[in-house]
Amino acid sequence: MRNVTLPTRRLMLLDTASLYFRAYFGMPESVKAPDGTPVNAVRGLLEFIDRLVKDHRPDDLVACMDADWRPQWRVDLIPSYKAHRVAVETETGPDQEEVPDTLSPQVPVIEEVLDALGIARVGVEGYEADDVIGTFTGRATGPVDIVTGDRDLYQLVDDTRGVRVLYPLKGVGTLQLTDEAWLREKYGVDGPGYADLALLRGDPSDGLPGVPGIGEKTAAKLLAEFGDLAGIMAAVDDPKARLTPSQRKRLDESRPYIAVAPTVVKVAGDVPLPEVDTALPHAPRRPEALDELAARWGLGGSLHRLLTTLRA
């Protein structure tokens, strides 16, 4: 009996908030619905998805959402985590993130449109979109394209499994295809090594302090010398290891941070994902609802082009 090789499905994971933020700032607010409400983020995201599907032809597509953009379990470990981006603190749920006034009302519209199209949309309480992406990636049996403007997800790059990051440089027409060769050339690390590098270097945009005096280049050199974060900390305890006195001192003083930072920096791989049909739709799941949304919000050519691409 002849062995039959089944076709491998390509999964595309969208860091949705990252993309609609870019769409919002990349498309003028003069793009409005009939009632005058700005819909630049909505239409821009539809344009992005259209281009991504045309150029990369995924078999499965998931719009990954931030059900909690600042999970308490991360804040408990590093209180400064994203603290500077909090607009409103709440006692009963996630703090509200600082978002432009005309973007916030567009997010529910984006969600309704994706649902009517039949594009899988997944957010899980207590987790960021990064964690949802990390869990889908870990479970994937074929190649994965992660579309994000967040470099944190470089940690998931894995040539062996066909996992790469598509990082938008200008819209999504110009994407940086991030694989292990690119990471090694740019940072001197592989995917998992990028998480260690980011941890040591710190990230002001996420409120991660890093190790004082250890910048990106020094972190890369230390990782090249000692392999990974565990190897670096073992070197701190080894008087014969080739560390400068200041490096040894700063790393030693940063042990409390280094003990908890990996849990904060590394994306979760064990998110309880719901059962969802991830197949790229070829026709809208709820056509009547989609027609109503298109008319109400003036989605026009942006939606029409995406529908034409999906049918193809």
User: Mind listing the pLDDT tens digit for each residue in 57-71?
Assistant: 999 999 999 999 899
Strand partners for 120: 62
Which tens digit of pLDDT belongs to each residue from 149-191? 999 999 999 999 999 999 999 776 789 999 999 999 999 999 9
Which tens digit of pLDDT belongs to each residue from 219-267? 999 999 999 999 999 999 999 999 999 999 999 999 999 999 999 999 9
Task: Check residues 6 and 8 and name the one with the higher pLDDT.
Answer: 8
Burial readout 138-172 (b: 16 or more C-beta within 10 A, e: otherwise) = bebeebbbbbbbbebbbbbbbeebebbbbbbeebb
pLDDT confidence of residue 84 = 82
3 state SS of 104:
coil
Mean pLDDT over residues 49-59, rounded?
A: 96
Residue showing tokens 């933020």: 21
DSSP 13-35: EEEHHHHHHHHHHHS-TT-B-TT
pTM score, whole prediction: 0.92
Percent of the chain's residues with pLDDT above 90: 85
pLDDT band for 91, please (50, 70, 90 cuts).
Answer: low
Rounded-to-integer distance, Cα 274 and Cα 182, Å: 33
Q: Show contacts of 1-7: CB within 8 Å, 24+ apart.
A: none
